Amino acid sequence: MSVRPLNIDPSNCFIAGAWGAPLSGETLPLINPSDGSTLCEIARGQAADINAAVAAADAALSGKWGKATAAERGRLLAKIGRAVLDHVDELARLEAMDVGKPLKQARADVLALARYMEFYGGAADKVHGETIPYLDGYTVYTLREPHGVTGHIIPWNYPMQIIGRSVGAALAMGNASVLKPAEEACLTALAFAEIAHKAGLPDGALNVVPGLGAEAGAALSAHKGVNHISFTGSVGVGKLIQQSAGTNVVPVTLELGGKSPQVVFNDADINAALPFLVNAGIQNAGQTCSASSRILVQHGVYDQVVTAMAERYGQLRTGPAMADLDVGPLVSNRQKEIVEGFLSQGEDLEVVGRGQIVTDAPTGGAYVAPTLFTDVAPDHALAQKEIFGPVQVIIPFADEAEAVAIANGTDFGLVASCWSENGARQMRMARALRAGQVFINNYGAGGGVELPFGGTGLSGHGREKGFEALYGFSVLKTIAARHG
C-alpha cells in the first residue's frame, strides 16, 4: 500500500516523528544550482535542535523502536524501501533541483535508496553472534547490539544514496539516528524521514536536523549522547569530526573522497573500457567521492585512449538538471569557483577534450564544462588533489611497476581499477593497488549496494555498504556463563 504524497516543509526539522521549526526560528536559503534562484528556505538547526533530536532518538531506544525484534526492523525497512519506490518521480525531481544532477541520475539515486532499504531490511535478522569453545563448565557466546544513538553527517553530492547506506544499516541494527544533511541539499533527507515515518518507523528512530556544518553539524559530532558518528565529506571536516569523536571516545566512520585511478594496460579491451573511463569521471559532474579522476594509460595504447576519450568529451553536453543531459551544474557557485581555481592551475597543461555548456543554460547556474587534460605529470596538483568537478587527467606509464607507483602515489586510497586481459596481472594489480575497492575490467560495478566501501589514508576509515556496514553499526558483547 502506498504512503500519502510527500508533504514536507523544509523550513522545519523532523524530530520525534513531528515537524517543527528550529528553536531559533531561523532559516537559510536553499539555492537551485541550475539557475541560481532560491528554491525555498530551510531550517537553520542549531545545538538546541540537535539536543532535542538526540533526546528523541534516546527515547526511541527505550520505547517501541528499541523493543522491535530484528525481524520487525527488517520488515519495516523493506516496507520503507517500497514506499520510496512509490515516490520515485517526486524524489528524483527534488534531488535534481536541489543537487543539480540530471534527472536520470537522480532517479538512479532513488532506486539505490530503495535497494539499500531492501538489502538492509533483508539483512537485519541475519547478523549472528558466535559460540566460542572455552573452559570446561562454561558456555560463551557473542551478541551484536546497537551502539545506541548514531549521528550521520552527510554531504550534498548523493544525499539519498548516503542516507540509504548509512541510516539504512544503522536502523537495521536497531540504532536510533540523528541525520544532519548538507546545507546545500537537504530536501530528500526530509522527504525520506516523512516517507519512513508514514510507513511506520516509530517516532524518534530517525530525526533530521538541517543546518550549517559549523552549527548543527559541529553540535551533533560533539554531542555526548551520540554513540557513533558516520561522516561523509571533506578531509578537513573529517579531521574535525574525528577530533570530536576522540573527545567523547566514540567510534567514527569517515569517508573522505579520493583521487581514484583507472589503470589501462596495452592488452586491455579498450572499447569495453572507454565508457567507464569517461563516465566514472563526469558522473554527477565529477562530484563523487569515488570519481575516477586519474586515467593511467600504458604507452602502447596511449594515443588510442587519448583520442577516444577526447572524442567522447566533445560530445558531452552540460545544462540544467531538468534538461537531463550528460552533465548538470555543480552544486553551487562556490563549488564552481573551487573547480575553476583548479582549472587555472592546469594552464600549463594540454587540454585534449572539452564538453560543451548548452547555449540556453541559465547564466546564474554553476556550470563548468568537462575538461580532459593529457600528459599530466603524476605529481602535478591536478593529479594529486581531489577536484570534485568534471575534470580528468591522463597520465602515461611504461610498465606495471610504474603503474602501481603512480596509482598509489597520492594521499588517498578509495577506489581503483585495472583494465587488462592478463589474468595473472589482474591478480597482482588487485593486491598491489592501495584502495578500499579494486575493480577488474569495470569501474563502480552497478552502484554496489552489496559491496563494502571505504578507504585508506586520507580517504578515511571504516566500511559502509554491504553486510560489513552492519558490523560497523553494532557492538560485540561477549557473554561467558559458568554453569559447571
Is there binding between residue 414 and ligand ADP (CB under 6 A)?
no
Is there binding between residue 47 and ligand ADP (CB under 6 A)?
no
Q: Which of 183, 184, 255, 386 is catalytic?
A: 255
Q: Is 270 exposed, middle or buried (0-12, 13-18, 19+ CB in 10 A)?
A: middle
Q: Which of 182, 185, 206, 186 is nearest to 194 (CA)?
A: 206
**418 catalytically annotated:** no
Residue number with CB closer to ligand ADP (221 or 262): 221
Output the furthest CA–CA distance in the chain (Å, rounded). Answer: 82
- Stretch touching ligand ADP by CB under 6 A, among 39-47, 175-183, 199-207, 311-319: 175-183
Task: Report, in Å, the least distance between residue 391 CB and ligand ADP.
Answer: 15
Q: Which of 289, 400, 418, 464 is catalytic?
A: 289
Q: Using CA atoms, how far apart are residues 327 and 367, in angstroms rounded to an integer?
A: 9
Is there binding between residue 422 and ligand ADP (CB under 6 A)?
no
Write out the three cell numbers for 279.
Answer: 563516465
Residue number with CB closer to ligand ADP (335 or 474): 335
Q: Which residues pair with 295 in a beta bridge?
A: 262, 394
Please provide the size of the chain in residues.
484
Task: Report, in Å, the least distance between residue 6 CB and ligand ADP.
Answer: 22
Instruction: Yes or no: say if 132 and 141 are a contact pair by the CB < 8 Å rule.
Output: yes
| For the chain, the helix, strand and coil percentages under 3-state DSSP, each to the nearest 5 | 40, 20, 35
Q: Using CA atoms, how far apart are residues 245 and 231, in angstroms rounded to an integer?
A: 11
Is there binding between residue 180 and ligand ADP (CB under 6 A)?
yes
Q: Using CA atoms, how far apart are residues 101 and 106, in angstroms rounded to an integer?
A: 6
Task: Report, in Å, the least distance between residue 214 CB and ligand ADP.
Answer: 5
3 state DSSP class of 195? helix
Task: Report, in Å, the least distance between residue 101 CB and ligand ADP.
Answer: 15
Q: Which of 441, 399, 396, 397 is nearest to 416 (CA)?
A: 441
Residue number with CB closer to ligand ADP (226 or 297): 226
Write out the three cell numbers for 352.
Answer: 585534449
Is there binding between residue 365 and ligand ADP (CB under 6 A)?
no
Is there binding between residue 286 and ligand ADP (CB under 6 A)?
no
Is there binding between residue 366 and ligand ADP (CB under 6 A)?
no
3 state DSSP class of 397? strand
Task: Report, in Å, the least distance between residue 217 CB and ligand ADP.
Answer: 2
User: What are residue 482's phi and psi, to 5 degrees?
Assistant: -100, 115
User: What are residue 344's phi and psi, to 5 degrees?
Assistant: -70, -25
Instruction: Yes or no: say if 206 and 168 are a contact pair by the CB < 8 Å rule.
Output: no
**40 catalytically annotated:** no
Task: Report, in Å, the least distance between residue 482 CB and ligand ADP.
Answer: 46
Site for ligand ADP in 210-249 (CB under 6 A): 213-214, 217-218, 221, 233-234, 237, 240-241
Residue number with CB closer to ligand ADP (12 or 298): 12
Q: Which of 66, 74, 155, 204 binds ligand ADP (CB under 6 A)?
A: 155
Could you give the residue numbers annotated as active site?
255, 289
Residues that bind ligand ADP (CB under 6 A): 153-155, 180, 182-183, 213-214, 217-218, 221, 233-234, 237, 240-241
